[in-house]
């Protein structure tokens, strides 16, 4: 639905571009046309969203975002639970910002690899 996509786009822009100073190129790419978008609604507003992309032998979770006034209230964990229930037999990977690592660990992810800067 185009109106939901516009709301996801706005949420990503508010958090990743306006607040965290990522470039638009880092936040939006051509994959958005081919991936599965997951989102939570509250009164028709998108309050959390992410996308999943099927790769060779795992699913990559990307652009995971929760509206600032809804953070630390369980909405991100709820969205993650819905995704993991949708793909019960799959493995997942996610690249995380440093400040969000603890959240993903609570969701069952294990930290692997070295810190890197995404260009």
Please report, for the domain that includes residue 24, its CATH number: 3.40.630.30
Kindly state whether residue 118 falls inside one of the protein's structural domains.
no
Would you say residue 119 has pLDDT above 60? no
Q: Is the pLDDT of residue 115 over 70?
A: no
Residue 96 resides in a domain: yes
Number of other residues whose CB lies within 10 A of the CB of residue 14 = 14
In-domain check, residue 74: yes
In the sheet that 45-54 helps form, which strands lie side by side, from edge to edge? 36-42, 45-54, 59-66, 92-94
Q: Which of 38, 14, 36, 16 is nearest to 27 (CA)?
A: 16
Q: Number of structural domains, the chain? A: 1
Q: Average per-residue pLDDT in the chain?
A: 88
Is pLDDT at 66 greater than 70 in this prediction?
yes
- State yes or no: pLDDT of 112 exceeds 80: no
pLDDT for the residue numbered 116: 52
Domain extent at residue 57: 2-104
Tally Cβ neighbours within 10 Å of residue 43: 5
Using pLDDT thresholds of 50, 70 and 90, give the confidence band for residue 103: confident
Query: Is residue 50 included in any domain, yes or no?
Result: yes
| Residue 27 maps to a domain | yes
More confident residue, 67 or 111: 67
**Helix (H/G/I), strand (E/B), else coil: 39:** strand
Indicate whether 39 belongs to any domain.
yes
pLDDT tens column, 19-62: 989 899 989 999 999 999 999 999 999 999 999 999 999 999 99
């Amino acid at each position: 639905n185009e109106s939901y996509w516009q709301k996801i786009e706005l949420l990503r822009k508010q958090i990743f571009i306006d607040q965290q100073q990522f470039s638009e190129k880092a936040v939006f790419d051509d994959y958005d046309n081919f991936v599965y978008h997951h989102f939570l609604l509250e009164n028709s507003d998108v309050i959390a969203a992410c996308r999943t992309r099927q790769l060779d032998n795992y699913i990559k979770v990307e652009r995971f975002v929760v509206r600032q006034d809804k953070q630390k209230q369980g909405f991100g964990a709820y969205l993650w639970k819905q995704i993991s229930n949708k793909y019960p037999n799959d493995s997942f990977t996610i690249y995380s910002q440093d400040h969000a690592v603890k959240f993903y660990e609570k969701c069952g992810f294990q930290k692997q690899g070295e810190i890197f800067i995404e260009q």
